[in-house]
């Protein structure tokens, strides 16, 4: 750090990025009224020994009121006890080491994630996870597999809502019309936090990027190549 002070900023930027896609929360549970300041995100690095009998040193990273920032396995934890590695090798594992930790999906509006996370049958671990990619996949779900978000949506409405999530971009007007028109109880269903997160992601998450000179247009319905539905420069 003394020779290259800018490396400290680069280290923290990479650490925050890898933590953000790991699926683990960086902050502890706090009241909704609590506001985090930019200074709270400052990473504090120390070297600690976890056990007096263990001669190895480990990096300890905290932020947000001393909340541990852990999301990957360090090299020192994966090696056999007889193998010796430097503390610097353990540090490199945070940025380049392989990890067995499963990464969570980035989109809260992914239909597969919504069904497997919110369906009553899956929440009670009575069934194996399913893949929901098309409308046909939704039609094969039974009422216990369809998420009702605390019984605020009927099974038929839930089926229709999940079907909308399977069509990128087009789902925006479909979802808006679903809540704005029809059964007035649908609009009141948005008081449910999980449903708010899903709708917010469906409306505002950007699609896959395409170059500005992309000219391959949709000329058949139903769509054959789903990649054509991606938004330009989004």
**How far is residue 5's CA from residue 11's CA, in Å, rounded to a whole number?**
10
pLDDT score at 7: 87
Q: Are strands 44-48 and 67-68 parallel, antiparallel or unpaired?
A: unpaired
pLDDT score at 232: 54
Q: 164, 171 in Cβ contact below 8 A? A: yes
pLDDT score at 56: 84
Mind listing the pLDDT tens digit of every residue in the chain (234 residues)?
A: 778 888 888 888 888 888 776 667 778 888 888 888 888 889 999 988 877 787 888 888 899 988 888 765 444 344 444 444 444 454 444 444 444 444 444 578 889 888 888 887 877 776 788 889 889 999 998 888 888 888 899 999 999 999 999 988 889 999 999 998 878 888 888 888 888 888 988 888 876 666 666 666 667 777 777 766 666 554
pLDDT score at 85: 47
pLDDT score at 25: 76
pLDDT score at 188: 87
pLDDT score at 208: 65
Q: 187, 156 in Cβ contact below 8 A? A: no
Q: Where are the domains of the chain?
A: 5-28+40-68, 85-204
Prior bond to 159 cis, omega within 30? Answer: no
Place of tokens 């971009």: 169
Q: 74, 94 in Cβ contact below 8 A? A: yes
Q: 147, 160 in Cβ contact below 8 A? A: no
């Amino acid at each position: 750090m003394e020779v290259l002070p800018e490396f400290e900023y680069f280290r923290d930027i990479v650490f925050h990025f890898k933590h953000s896609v790991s699926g683990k929360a960086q902050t502890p549970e706090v009241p909704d009224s609590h506001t985090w300041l930019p200074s709270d995100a400052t990473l504090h690095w120390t070297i600690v020994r976890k056990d007096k009998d263990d001669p190895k040193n480990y990096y300890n990273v905290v932020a947000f009121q001393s909340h541990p920032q852990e999301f990957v396995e360090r090299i020192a934890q994966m090696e056999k006890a007889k193998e010796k590695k430097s503390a610097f090798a353990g540090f490199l594992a945070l940025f380049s080491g392989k990890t067995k930790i499963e990464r969570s999906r980035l989109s809260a509006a992914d239909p597969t994630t919504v069904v497997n996370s919110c369906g009553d049958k899956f929440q009670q671990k009575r069934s194996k996870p399913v893949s929901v990619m098309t409308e046909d996949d939704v039609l094969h779900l039974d009422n216990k597999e369809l998420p009702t978000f605390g019984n605020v949506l009927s099974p038929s409405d839930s089926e229709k809502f999940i079907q909308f999530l399977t069509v990128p971009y087009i789902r925006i007007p479909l979802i808006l019309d679903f809540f704005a028109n029809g059964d007035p109880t649908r609009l009141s269903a948005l008081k449910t936090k999980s449903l708010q997160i899903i709708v917010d992601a469906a409306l505002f998450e950007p699609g896959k990027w395409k170059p500005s000179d992309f000219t391959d247009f949709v000329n058949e319905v139903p769509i054959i190549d789903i990649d054509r539905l991606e938004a330009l420069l989004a």
